[in-house]
Amino acid sequence: MSEQPKSLIPYGKQSIDDDDLAAVAAALRADYLTTGPRIAEFEAAFATAVGAKHAMVCSNGTAALHLSAMALGIGPDDIVLAPTLSFLATANGPHYTGARIVFMDCDPETALVRPQDVEDALERAGGSVKAIFITHMNGQICDIEAISKIARRIGAYLVEDACHAVGTEYTDSQGITRQVGDGAYSDLTNFSLHPVKTITMGEGGVVTTNDSTLHKQMCRLRSHGMTRDPDEFEVEELAFAADGLPNPWYYEMPSPGYNYRATDIQCALGMTQLAKLPRFAEKRRSLASEYDALLAKHNGPMRRFGRVEGCDPVLHLYVALIDFAAIGLDRGGFMRQLSALGIGTQVHYLPIHRQTYYAKLNPGLSLPGADTYYSQCLSLPLYADMTSEDVRRVMDALKSLGA
Ligand SMILES: *Cc1c(COP(=O)(O)O)cnc(C)c1O
């Protein structure tokens, strides 16, 4: 009897049910495919879900980061601190405005920026810093209270890249349980709803904030920089008719923005996915603890990544730290052999200061925490439709290759 071929276990994958399909179909049959009522509906639901006053939805997480930088007035002569251990967009978002990026190192076990990494980067910055961007890598939160104190001390804005961390909770020093995105310690928090993230809308981004001025700015900038709010009109003779009413066709552009809008189709999917966040979160937490238990019993060149106290993360990535030299295989070869066994893995991320473009701007920069993390990390499969059986298969495959 021939063995059944085993299915591929990817490192990440969306989870789409019939209710998602029905919501998208309904959106397609509605009057507005874009700029319709589903935008505000989704924004209100998202803000409520994370405990923020406002949420602005846009076309993707990268646009969210760019809009964040623009709303804060970051521009060509400004210095922005960003983590080197993150996705490209955390640096590119503020850099699109012309700002100079100064990279911060991270803890080699957790990949999170530490307060000391912020201080070190401040010393290298050689000028006043306009904003600090931090990433809650893998879904765990940075020491945000300590970092927000530094930001306040130097008069810089603090922006969270929480693209990995939707649903993550933590207990602050007051003993209050907080949601990532509630804005207790930062100015703006960014999310992505790309299909590999915990919830998806195909492509999508959200920025939450408790600052209504910043929120308004971002809403204006995501749609060409236009405002249709009569209270904001500056050119009265063009804006208003003789009877004092605003002209129905009229809009103003105080500064240029982009077309970074999300569609009603995307927001329909966002709504049904958001409703499932508690279930997805519980599933990710339970799969992560299964990995934890198997790794705790394991003696070998593989261990779990570092954990943060007081944080109850919804992990976007489950990361093993592996001593590849001890296995006698380089990481590429190891990943290819895993792939032949039907296991998908990924590496998150090559430190951004090592990307050709940023490397040229930062010759000789050494960030050893990020390099150490990068040399060992391997993201194992983790997604809502994964089973306990899948987790065991992943671990057995890793062990069979000597990890
Ligand atoms: C996914 C991601 C982004 C960008 O989001 P997109 O929606 O893909 O543009 C930014 N930062 C981090 C940390 C991410 O994981």
Block mean pLDDT (10 aa), the chain, length 403: 69 97 98 98 98 98 98 97 98 98 98 98 97 98 98 98 98 97 98 97 98 98 97 95 96 97 98 98 98 94 96 98 94 97 97 98 97 98 97 97 93
User: d(Cα 257, Cα 270) in Å, to the nearest integer?
Assistant: 24
Residue to mutate, 84, 161, 382, ligand 1, most ligand atoms under 8 Å from C-beta: 161
Q: Where are the alpha helices (DSSP H) in 106-263?
A: 115-125, 144-154, 212-221, 236-239
CA of 89 to the centre of ligand 1 (A): 6
CA of 242 to the centre of ligand 1 (A): 48
Residue nearest to ligand 1 atom 14, measured at CA: 163
Cα atoms found within 13 Å of the Cα of residue 57, Cβ hemisphere only: 30
**Residue 102 near residue 124, CB atoms below 8 Å:** yes
| pLDDT given for residue 7 in this prediction | 80
Residue to mutate, 59, 87, 206, ligand 1, most ligand atoms under 8 Å from C-beta: 87
Residue nearest to ligand 1 atom 6, measured at CA: 61
CA of 206 to the centre of ligand 1 (A): 11
CA of 351 to the centre of ligand 1 (A): 15
**Residue 324 near residue 330, CB atoms below 8 Å:** yes
| pLDDT given for residue 6 in this prediction | 67
Residue to mutate, 90, 192, 206, ligand 1, most ligand atoms under 8 Å from C-beta: 192
CA of 400 to the centre of ligand 1 (A): 33
Residue nearest to ligand 1 atom 7, measured at CA: 61
**CATH domain 277-400 topology:** Aspartate Aminotransferase, domain 1 (3.90.1150)
CA of 269 to the centre of ligand 1 (A): 18
For 83, the enclosing helix (H) or strand (E) is strand 79-83
| pLDDT given for residue 259 in this prediction | 98
State how beta strands 129-135 and 157-161 pair.
Answer: parallel
Q: Give, rounded to a whole angstrom, the gap between the first and last alpha carbons of the chain.
A: 31
CA of 9 to the centre of ligand 1 (A): 22
CA of 160 to the centre of ligand 1 (A): 12
The two structure tokens encoding residue 48: 């409520």
**Residue 201 near residue 58, CB atoms below 8 Å:** no
Pick the atom of ligand 1 nearest to 348's CA. 15
CA of 127 to the centre of ligand 1 (A): 28
**Residue 131, beta-bridge partner list:** 80, 157
CA of 274 to the centre of ligand 1 (A): 18
Q: Where, residue-wise, is CATH 3.90.1150.10 in the chain?
A: 277-400
Residue to mutate, 113, 135, 163, 315, ligand 1, most ligand atoms under 8 Å from C-beta: 163
Does the domain at 18-275 match CATH 3.40.640.10? Answer given as yes
What contacts 20, CB < 8 A, 6 or more positions away?
A: 269, 272, 273
| pLDDT given for residue 4 in this prediction | 56
Ligand 1 contacts (CB < 6 A) are 60-62, 86-87, 89-90, 135, 161, 163-164, 192, 194, 205
Q: Where, residue-wise, is CATH 3.40.640.10 in the chain?
A: 18-275
